[in-house]
Amino acid sequence: MRPDHVWRQIEGLLATAHGRVVLVAPFIKKDVFKFALDAVADPDVEILCVTRWSVLEVAAGVSDPEIADLAVRDGRVKILLCHDLHAKLYIADRRCLVGSANLTAKATGLRQPRNAELLLEVPHVHPEVQLLLEYIEEHGVPASTELAHQIREQADLLREDEDSAEMIVVAGSTDQDRTRWRPETRDPQRLYRIYRGAKHDFVSEILAGVVRDLAYLDVPPGLDEQNFSAAVLQRLYEMPEIGQLITEKRLNMDDLQQRVMEADGCSEAFARRAAENIGEWLKYFDEVRVVPTGPWEIRYGRELR
């Protein structure tokens, strides 16, 4: 078998297209994307590309949001983003390949050492293929060059930040990594502004901290403020240390500090700051209030002024 066997499968498929092409892969590198576009010889073919962009994965180098620039120059391509995408699917008219290979050099065998990948041809009308296409149509979010540039800028900030080195060793975070995340920025109002691309109003230290928070949060790109806030709140409540707020409708901050110390093996000062930051985020993103009852507590309900 040739080392680039997987790429030859994709290239051969795309060369037959005369009406519609669909490229579905979580990770797409710009050089391989360009090869794929070049393989579609017919200038009238409509090309739908479905992928996902996250700051952490772009910083890790497994995906290039710059495919948006190539799409604009090509003129035939529409890009949709599905944040929870894992499937790999390639369609040219009535032919279809499914399997494990992303549109990257290692996955397609265009670079050595290559990955061990598999692509199989199946009927394009296969029920599972159609279910995936329906899901994409329902949940896909249009990409843009502006969003691509925002993701790249934040990923570059993450790569340049020495404190973030461990975060970008692998693409994506494990469940354990996600549960150990603690809000870093003291002012959660900054999050959405920087998420949407604002950066010139912040000093580098603050900007780096917010970008680290955004990378750990791994919120889908392109959300409006209401949906962004809902996604952040859901992420907050994934932390087991604040489960008491859900079950008992109150959370003693001394208890929270102690739980953070035990889970992270950190100093008392770090745990205190983490607990205080969690309190600030909960006040901002949820209807909770802080009340001074000896060790101050977080409780549900609007804060009294």
Residue 247 has what DSSP assignment?
A: H
Q: 85 and 201 in one domain?
A: no
> Is residue 58 a part of any domain in this protein?
yes
Mean pLDDT of 232-250: 81
Element (H, E) at 49: strand 46-51
Residue 51 lies in a domain: yes
Q: How much of the chain is helix, strand and coil, in % rounded to 5?
A: 50, 15, 35
- Domain CATH number, residue 10: 3.30.870.10
CA distance 260 to 266: 8
**Residue 25: pLDDT band with limits 50, 70, 90:** very high
Using CA atoms of 217, 220, 224, 226 in order, give the dihedral in degrees to the nearest 10. Answer: -50
140: left (phi over 0), alpha (psi -120 to 50) or beta: beta
Q: What is the mean pLDDT of residues 191-203?
A: 83
Is residue 159 included in any domain, yes or no? no
Beta bridge pairs of residue 217: none
Our count of domains for the chain comes to: 2
34 inside domain: yes
Asked, for residue 158, whether it belongs to a domain, the answer is no
Q: Are residues 89 and 190 in the same domain?
A: no
Q: Quick one: 234 and 115 in the same domain?
A: no
- The pLDDT assigned to 298 comes to 59
What's the confidence (pLDDT) of residue 242? 79
pTM: 0.83
Instruction: Answer yes or no: is 154 within a domain.
Output: no
For the chain, give the percent of residues with pLDDT over 90: 58
Q: What is the mean pLDDT of residues 17-27?
A: 97
| Amino acid 283: pLDDT | 87
- Print the domain residue range for 195: 173-300
